Structure 1
Amino acid sequence: MSPALAACGSNDGPGLVRARPKLTHGVAVGDPRSDGALIWARSDQPATLVVETSATESFRDVKRFTGPLLTPESDGTGRVRVNGLPAGQVVHYRVHLEGDGGANSEPVTGVFRTAPTAAADINLVWSGDVAGQGFGINPDVGGMRVFKAMAARDPHLFLHSGDAIYADNAIKESVTLPDGRVWRNVTAEAKNAPAETLDQFRGNYAYNLTDDNYRAFNSTVAQVVQWDDHETTNNWSPGGTVAAEKGYRERSMDVLAARSWQAFHEWMPLETKEAVDGRLYRKISYGPLLDVFVLDMRAYKDANNANNGPAGSIFGAAQTRWLTEGLRTSTATWKIVAADLPLGVVVPDGKTAFEGPANAAPGAPSGRETEVAQVLSSIKANKVRNVVWLTADVHYTAAHRYAPERATFTDFDEFWEFVSGPLNAGAFGPNDLDPTFGPEAVFVHAPPAPNTSPLDLEFQHFGEVRIDGKTSELTVNLCDATGKVLFAKKLEPKR
């Protein structure tokens, strides 16, 4: 039980009024459909989640949805899917909590857009990597300003590409930078050390949501969320062990991942039963112009030091089949594959191990590249058009064009991968590219020195995808945290 819930009590006794429940960390919207979306909230004490929706800000015509009882077992969190709403419309929603004896919370309001059922303009932003490398919420600069910059683009969707928290990074009161500047942090007990207990993992999500910009963004933009490694510990993979020198008492990555996984599903706006595997990977259909295939490249991967053999796992067999079949049967004009790790960027884990599919080995696909090759070959064989890959993870932004004429493996059609990040974390890069699938770095924006702080907003990044409802053209903008567009690429749909 978190401290917030443990401390709350019922003011029992004659003449005493029971305390009103409180929404502690704002509200959030997730996984929208044409008739609604998931609405998430958290209570400071046992209370029932209630959501009201309306077509207008005045809430004159209201639909009411009663959600679950929010209890300490889920750290006070919960969600309810609102449905039966009109497609392609702005929905105003109002959330409150109903406690015992008619004690209700103050309401919190927000807006979201339902997915369209006819061709319409679509605006999606994506990025990842929040509050990493010890850079937390800095009150001197107005908190996590990048979320305000993303909100200013008025997006319909936010694709969170992973590393939503840095459970393995403590947040200290200040960080002195190499040039003498000082980054100052808001601190919290759960961020005093790397997370090992369930409550510490929960506290990492709670910490990020004390930022005003993040909460405001959550209330107005529907999210599609993924996870990567820092939700658990750096570079984790199933069956792994945390190095002894990192000082963890619990060194089993599987144990840490189980606790992390629970906190992730409690604190993020997604529903496990709506995922294909009851965990994370799923398809979000957003009208006739867009399908988003949300991948889990963490839970099914093999060990980082096992990426050089004749075979390997990054998606797992079941997810590979799901992805190839889903792409083959998709009728949407554009298919975005939301990957939490880039395909051709070499991400080392020490001297001989690798994080993602790329293993810096030229020649035929090996290790995890074999599953990527299966997917790419299937796309070509089934004549699947207009597939774009979006990712984060490496803490810089880039546009990569993959083409068979440059590749050592050639059984695929040309495609683009766009990379963005970080969101309020240290900036790094750029990394080397693996030649197997022939990537070309058409554009790269990375800092001049590793671990450049978020004080330098030009090296904090998010990406934007705009689809024109009339022409079906897709434009990708790579932006910095001031909202400046650094690079743009327009893609014409192939019929």
Structure 2
Amino acid sequence: MSEFTPDSVPGGVGRRTFLSLTGVSATAFLLGLGAAPTPVHAAEALPADPFTLGVASGDPLPDGVVLWTRLAMRPLAADGRGGMPNRDIRVRYEIAEDERFARVVRRGTAVATPELGHSVHPEVGGLKPGRDYYYRFRVGGFTSPAGRTRTAPARGAAVERLRFATASCQAWYHGYYTAYRHMAADNLDVIFFLGDYIYEYGIVAGDNLERQADLGPEHGVKVTTLEQFRLRYSLTKTDPDLQAAHASAPWVVTWDDHEVENNYAAAVSQYGVPEREFLARRAAAYQVFYENLPLRSVQTPDGPSVRMYRTLPYGSLADVHVLDTRQYRDTYPAGRVVDNSPERLDPARTILGRKQERWLTGAFRDSTARWNLLANQVVMAQIDRDLGSGRLYSNDQWDGFPACRERVLTALRRARIRNFVVLTGDIHRNVAAEIKADFDDPDSRTLGVELVCSSISSDRDGARSDSLAQIWLQNPHVRLYNAQRGYLRCEATRESLTADFRIVPYVTRPGAGVETLARYTIPAGEMGLPGTAPQQRP
């Protein structure tokens, strides 16, 4: 099976051509990081508040975090430029130990360039491990809202607990981001975003627009260009509850398909877009993803390629392995939902790509943490979708790549990883399932658990149950199924991991409360969901 890399672009289009598609220079990236001397011509004075899209931090390490903001005086300007002048803007930042900024410990300057949508990504180091910090930005006479962040514990340090949440799938037009307002109040150490930060579909009043909003015609088209992607992120990030969640804790982000196009697979568009054209679209989408999220320099795009997979350690308590199941996957065989076709069972098929598989195998082997968490996009557990005697599987999920899944689980067993939790999004449903050594044998060994968070807003309000519940719950390793909106909140300790499925009753109007649908406490060393005895068979 082929794997796309920037050096082997199909159609004979090379790395330099793709870099020129978006016109981003290496200098622009360095200026946004604050890693290059500030140009003497970089201006500061602006006529209006540029901090309309909020602030964020991300990818915490023991000694620092990456900070983010993007300047936009008019965030919904139709050309995607946020009403900003076509010049570099000097952005000052500071980080403090207290909310009043009486004890500032780091100050610096980055430059927001038009090439990167006037975004900055300063990487702040020299901080203490396992500590809360507060940060803000300044441009001229304007000061941004303050954000709270938290560094990771020192490597190998004993850690009492890790409090985190997972979120995914936030179609702006399907409803309000109320779940984020509740998440922001949870005093979390970190938030994992698992994909579908935007959706590329055109927004049409009376069709898919559930919010009370009056949008111009520029929002009614499918997003395919750099300018359109910028505008869609701007629209998404104007939501105050999303801004509150970003400002409440550092985020660790990855993507799924809608950041580019529904159900794409590597360089293949599921709508028949020619490969050269689709890779150009992917280059634009990946650049704007970087522009709008708190990503480190190792995630800067190289044309239509970004290394998104990585491991973040949290002392001796947890290693978090962040996956990318979209950029390198093989395409769908014989449709999206099929039985055991020979093509589906091809042992060479991969959802991760060869390099990412080797990286994940090594990460398992090298881990000494109490918990191994997989920040993953699509459902890993086998889900038979035939209510009769046959078998049907979704090829968009790990079921479309059973040989790859078996290789990953074999590596897990060989590394003797005992506390394995897969954190998943994508399906707009709350699901709790067990990862089995043999999914066709309910008595086989349980290797871990999978906790699937629902969407923040996608698919509108949802319901306690729906027509798919019977399909999912017929699989004996599935313990929970719910079709409402919300997020997953977890606390990991040396002794256990507790997961709360948090749901809101509606999203098509603002102001919903929140409740805990279900709570699972998973003892360390005893993989399996409550209500089932730990399995010992190999």
Offset of residue 113 of structure 1: 1.5
| Whole-Å separation in 1 of the counterparts to 2:147 and 2:130 | 17
Report the Cα distance in structure 2 between the residues aligned to 1:473 and 1:186, rounded to whole angstroms: 48
Tell me, in whole angstroms, the C-alpha distance in 1 between the residues paired with 2:170 and 2:106: 34
Shift of 1:67: 4.1
Name the SS for the 2:142 alignment partner: coil
Describe how 1:321-400 pairs up with structure 2 within 5 A. Answer: 321-344=358-381, 354-359=395-400, 368-400=401-433
Picking from 521, 528, 535, the partner of 1:490 is 521
Report the Cα distance in structure 2 between the residues aligned to 1:50 and 1:385, rounded to whole angstroms. 45
Shift of 1:402: 2.4
TM-superposed CA distance for 1:104, in Å, is 4.2
Q: What is the distance in 2 between the residues matched to 1:198 and 1:115?
A: 34
- In structure 1, give the amino acid aligned to 2:96: S
Matched, 1:47 2:47: no
Instruction: Report what 2:112 is aligned to.
Output: 70
Structure 1 position 163 matched with structure 2 position 196: yes
Separation of aligned partners in 1, 2:217 and 2:290: 21
In 2, Cα distance between the equivalents of 1:422 and 1:202? 22
Q: Does the 8 Å CA contact 1:238/1:303 hold for their aligned counterparts?
A: yes
* Amino acid aligned to 2:169: D
The SS at the match of 1:108 is coil
Q: CA separation in 1, counterparts of 2:275 and 2:127? A: 46
Partner SS, residue 92 of structure 2: strand
- Which residue of 2 is the match for residue 154 of structure 1? 187
- The answer as to 2:220 corresponding to 1:192 is yes
Partner of 1:57: 99
Question: 1:163-312 maps to which residues of 2 (within 5 A)?
Answer: 163-167=196-200, 169-175=201-207, 184-185=212-213, 187=215, 190-243=218-271, 252-273=277-298, 278-305=306-333, 308-311=344-347, 312=349
1:86 aligned partner: 128
Distance 1:401 1:313 in 2: 22
| Residues 330 and 322 of structure 1: CA distance in aligned 2, closer, same or farther (over 3 Å) | same
Contact 2:170 2:177 in 1 (8 A): no
Unpaired segments ≥5 residues, structure 1: 2-16, 98-102, 137-142, 360-367, 447-458
Shift of the alpha carbon at 1:274? 5.6
Distance 1:191 1:32 in 2: 34
Per the alignment, in what secondary structure is the counterpart of residue 52 of structure 1? strand
Q: Does 1:119 align with 2:159?
A: yes
1:101-120 equivalences in 2 (<5 Å): 103-117=140-154, 118-120=158-160
Query: How far apart are 1:479 and its partner, in Å?
Result: 1.3
Give the CA deviation at 1:239. Answer: 3.0
RMSD of aligned alpha carbons: 3.1
CA distance in 2, matches of 1:91, 1:70: 23
- Deviation at 1:183? 5.1
The match for 1:420 is 453
Deviation of residue 252 (structure 1)? 4.2
- The within-5 A match list for 1:12-51 is 19=47, 22-43=50-71, 44-45=84-85, 46-51=88-93
Residue deviations 1:126-154 (CA, integer Å, cap 9, x gap)? 0200116x415xxxxxx421110211222
Say whether the 8 Å CA contact 2:500–2:518 is kept in structure 1: yes
Asked whether the equivalents of residues 430 and 481 of structure 2 are also in contact (C-alpha less than 8 Å), the reply is yes
Letter in 1 for 2:501: L
Q: Is the Cα contact below 8 Å between 1:347 and 1:356 reproduced in 2? A: no
Q: TM-score, normalised by structure 2?
A: 0.74
- Cα distance in 2 for partners of 1:347, 1:232 equals 28
Q: Measure how far apart 1:296 and its partner are.
A: 0.2
SS at match of 1:119: coil
- Please list the CA deviations of residues 152-202 of structure 1 after superposition, one character each: whole Å capped at 9, or x if unmatched: 2222211101001001x222334589xxxx753453555321101111111
Aligned with 1:414: secondary structure?
A: strand
The answer as to whether partners of 2:68 and 2:119 remain within 8 angstroms in 1 is yes
315-324 vs 150-159, greater mean Cα deviation = 150-159
Q: Read off the aligned partner of 2:70 and give its amino acid letter.
A: R
CA spacing shift, 1:285–1:28, aligned 2, 3 Å: same
Distance 2:496 2:207 in 1: 44
TM-score normalized by the length of structure 1: 0.80
2:114 maps to a residue whose letter is P
Aligned pairs, number: 434
Q: Kindly state the Cα deviation for residue 208 of structure 1 after the two structures are TM-superposed.
A: 0.8
For 2:116 and 2:486, the matched residues in 1 are separated by 33
Q: Secondary structure at the match of 2:365?
A: helix
Secondary structure of the equivalent of 2:110?
A: strand
Give per-residue Cα distances to partners, 1:371-394, cap 9 Å, x unaligned. 111110111122112110010100
1:221-269 Cα shifts (integer Å, max 9, x gaps): 210101001111111112323536xxx8999432322211111111111
1:48 Cα deviation after fit: 2.1
Partner Cα separation in structure 2 for residue 352 and residue 384 of structure 1: 27
Name the CA distance, whole Å, in 2 between partners of 1:205 and 1:293: 26
Are the counterparts in 1 of residues 418 and 447 from structure 2 also a CA contact under 8 Å?
Answer: no
Aligned-partner Cα distance in 2 for 1:258–1:394: 26
**Cα deviation code 1:284-309 (max 9, x no counterpart):** 11222111100000001011226614
Residue 467 of structure 1 aligns with an amino acid whose one-letter code is A
| C-alpha spacing 1:375/1:410, structure 2 compared with 1 (3 Å) | farther
Distance 1:219 1:87 in 2: 19
Q: Is the 8 A contact 2:56 2:246 kept in 1?
A: yes
C-alpha change, 1:49 and 1:407, in structure 2 (3 Å) is: farther
Q: Conserved in 1, the CA contact under 8 Å of 2:374 and 2:421?
A: yes
Distance in 2 (CA, whole Å) between partners of 1:116 and 1:391 is 24
- Between 1:267-276 and 1:322-331, the stretch displaced more is 267-276
Please tell me whether residue 480 in structure 1 is matched to residue 503 in structure 2. yes
Per-residue deviation at 1:401? Answer: 1.1
CA distance in 1, matches of 2:242, 2:265: 29
Code of the aligned partner of 2:281: L
* In structure 2, C-alpha distance between the alignment counterparts of 1:402 and 1:187, rounded to whole Å: 44
- Name the aligned partner's letter for residue 314 of structure 1: I
1:272 Cα shift? 4.4
Q: Structure 2, unaligned stretches of length 5 or more?
A: 1-21, 23-44, 72-83, 335-342, 386-391, 505-512, 527-538
Task: Give the superposition deviation at 1:357.
Answer: 1.8
1:465 to 490, 496, 504: 490
